[in-house]
Amino acid sequence: MSITKSLFGTMPDGRKVYNYTFIDGKGQSVTLSEYACAILEINVHGKDGKLYDVALGYDTLAEYLNDTRNFGAIIGRYANRIAGGKFTLNGVTYHLPQNNGVNTLHGGFHGFGKKLFESEQKDDCVIFTLHSPDLDEGFPGNLTLKETATFIDGTLRMSYEYTTDKDTPISITNHNYFNLNGHGQGSILRHYIRINASKYCKADEGLVALAPAVSVEGTPFDFTNGGNANSRLFSYSPEIIKARGGFDHCFVLDGHNPDAYAVGDVTGIKLEVRSDLPALQFYTGNSIGHGRGKGGAFYNNNDGFAMECGQFPNAINEPSFPDCVLRAGQTGHSFIEYKFSCQS
């Protein structure tokens, strides 16, 4: 296994941005950037022995600076939606940027997916560090986040550690868009999908997760025995209609190993997702739109999917959801792991 460091570009304020490419013993590779801790490339073997880049993205730093889709980015201080752009904690009401209608999405206009991280290589890993000041996008507390990234034998593991000097809600995830047939190779709706979740959260009109979670049994949201997304989109489910004709919902993980997996219908590339977090947002790229990606590819709606492990959306405003508050002086930990293999 090897790691190489390369210059990606320069921020508007003159700071240099570097990328790290991890290469495993089979010639597969992952590239991560100091900007947004973003996954830029994931090159893994298909059943034909060829390498396929299964991560949507861009070629240049300038494109990532202008990105509105969060391609590959780390998400924080709080992943997904917070209703009404506000919450009350310890008797204080905090107001956040309303960047998704009246709600706050993925930490606000300048969440962690718009930040430049510091980096340090140590042996077989790279440690990315961000210092988020008190009231950054409205969130309380000076928070320090460290992501330790490794890529060994086809497995990308992102381990997170975070500390704060004030109580603060936190939910860190990764927002990579996968196409297991290769980025730019069309729709993911015929991928085989399995999500080990017996419950999911319905959503309101702003796609904020609602309590209580309900059974997936007998609904298009039942992926416990696997299947593809394509046929389910024609169910006329009100939940699918309000999510712009696809999935953008919180699944309550049952604690299986793995939490979820997907298989490319053309390449046979298999992605297994593991985490110690309680929920997974399954998103079928319903709002990708039409635009140019890396290597001259064009992306359209449903050309990539995300499996975002994290805390429950809007948990800070919903007491029945698991506690999402990191207490002052405590150290929080979580991890997300993507394991790639191939099915013939």
Give the model confidence (pLDDT) of 43-86 as tens digits: 999 999 999 999 999 999 999 999 999 999 999 999 999 999 99
Tokens 């991280």 belong to residue? 117
Query: For the whole prediction, is pTM greater than 0.75?
Result: yes
pLDDT score of 129: 98
The answer to whether 129 and 145 have CB atoms below 8 angstroms apart is yes
What's the pLDDT score for residue 235? 83
- Calculate what percentage of the chain has a pLDDT beyond 90: 97
Residue 183 annotated as catalytic: no
Q: Which residues pair with 341 in a beta bridge?
A: 270
Q: Is the pLDDT of residue 342 over 90?
A: yes
Q: Indicate which residue of 41, 147, 308, 337 is catalytic.
A: 308
Q: Can you tell me which residue has the tokens 């077989």?
A: 124
Pinpoint the alpha helices (H) of 6-156: 61-65
Q: Does residue 137 carry a catalytic annotation?
A: no
Query: Would you tell me how many other CB atoms lie within 10 Å of the CB of residue 340?
Result: 24
| SS3 (DSSP) at 323 | coil
pLDDT at residue 305 above 80?
yes
Q: Is the four-CA dihedral 6, 106, 287, 197 of positive or negative sign?
A: positive
How many beta carbons lie within 10 A of that of residue 344, not counting itself? 5
What does the DSSP assignment read for 154-191?
A: TEEEEEEEEEESS-EE-B-EE-PPB-TT-TTS---TTS
- Catalytic residue (one of 45, 106, 175, 183): 175
Where does the pLDDT of residue 231 fall: very low under 50, low under 70, confident under 90, or very high at 90 and above?
Answer: confident
Residue-wise pLDDT for 310-328, tens only, equals 999 999 999 999 999 999 9
